[in-house]
Amino acid sequence: MRHPLVAGNWKMNGDSESIATLISGLLEIQCEADIAVFPPHIYIPLVIAGVGGSSVAVGGQSASEHKAGAYTGETSCQMLRDVGCQYVIVGHSERRSIYGESSQQVAEKFVVAQLSGMTPILCVGETLEQRDKGETLNVIAEQLGLVIELAGLDAVCKAVVAYEPVWAIGTGKTATAEQAQSVHQDIRRQLGESGAKTRILYGGSVKAANAAELFLQPDIDGALVGGASLDVSEFSEICKLA
């Protein structure tokens, strides 16, 4: 019922040459899962042109909560949509922790993204400290709750949610399949009946070696892949496993 999605977040990596190599690799992937990639904004048109005609979707790694105006350095959801993006990541933990994005801003970005016609990928996740204190489910319920409050439950159910434990991002530490499944199940419970159709991705040091076990879990519908998405053969393996 839920079609798997594998999303590759390239973060602030790559140049014209390495991205051309990634594009040709992406065009060769044959898999059942939906694929989306998130290049740095400046390369988005290049990637869209490169993957044009294939089933690979492209999205933005972040966008402004404002529609337009005097916001130097920002990119609006409308602009991402205008150049052909289908998705936008909102609330990635690097945006929350490095750039101080608040949960309120994340919720606003989510609303603007959906209004502009894109599917937001809403990231939620706890820090190691929060996990150690037993606060994981509360933290996630709160992050999700704020977006539900502003955007409405139906809107969130139509989007994609990514559970990304902060302690597992870029660290090589993956949540065990059981740890991830239990949070995914809780997120789905919070989404209620319509949440049965929502794609919930796992993110945090996903690689070909650990993807199969994660994808076997009943509430894990794919992955948001950082580091491993820059290696197209690794990324391709993950896509085939989904």
List of residues contacting ligand PGA (CB under 6 A):
9, 164, 169-170, 203-206, 224-228
The CA distance from 180 to 231, in Å, is: 24
**Nearest distance from residue 142's CB to ligand PGA, in Å?**
20
DSSP state of 4: P
Instruction: Identify the active-site residue in 65, 94, 108, 164.
Output: 164
Q: Which is nearer to ligand PGA, 53 or 172 (CB)?
A: 172
User: Comparing C-alpha atoms, which of 239, 232, 237, 240 is closest to residue 10?
Assistant: 232
Contact 9, 229 (CB under 8 A): yes
Instruction: Identify the active-site residue in 41, 92, 94, 101.
Output: 92
User: Comparing C-alpha atoms, which of 194, 106, 183 is closest to residue 139?
Assistant: 183
- Number of helices followed by number of strands (H, E) in the chain: 11, 8
Tokens of 217: 């879990």
**Nearest distance from residue 139's CB to ligand PGA, in Å?**
17
**Nearest distance from residue 87's CB to ligand PGA, in Å?**
13
Contact 9, 225 (CB under 8 A): yes
For helices 16-28 and 44-51, what crossing angle results, to 10°?
30
Q: Which is nearer to ligand PGA, 171 or 194 (CB)?
A: 171
Position with the least CB separation from ligand PGA: 226
DSSP state of 190: H
135 is catalytic: no
178 is catalytic: no
**Nearest distance from residue 205's CB to ligand PGA, in Å?**
4
Q: Which is nearer to ligand PGA, 164 or 219 (CB)?
A: 164
Q: Which is nearer to ligand PGA, 120 or 227 (CB)?
A: 227
Q: Which is nearer to ligand PGA, 50 or 226 (CB)?
A: 226
**Nearest distance from residue 136's CB to ligand PGA, in Å?**
18
Tokens of 175: 């949540």
Count of residues in the chain:
242
The CA distance from 71 to 50, in Å, is: 29
Q: Which residues have a catalytic role annotated?
A: 92, 164
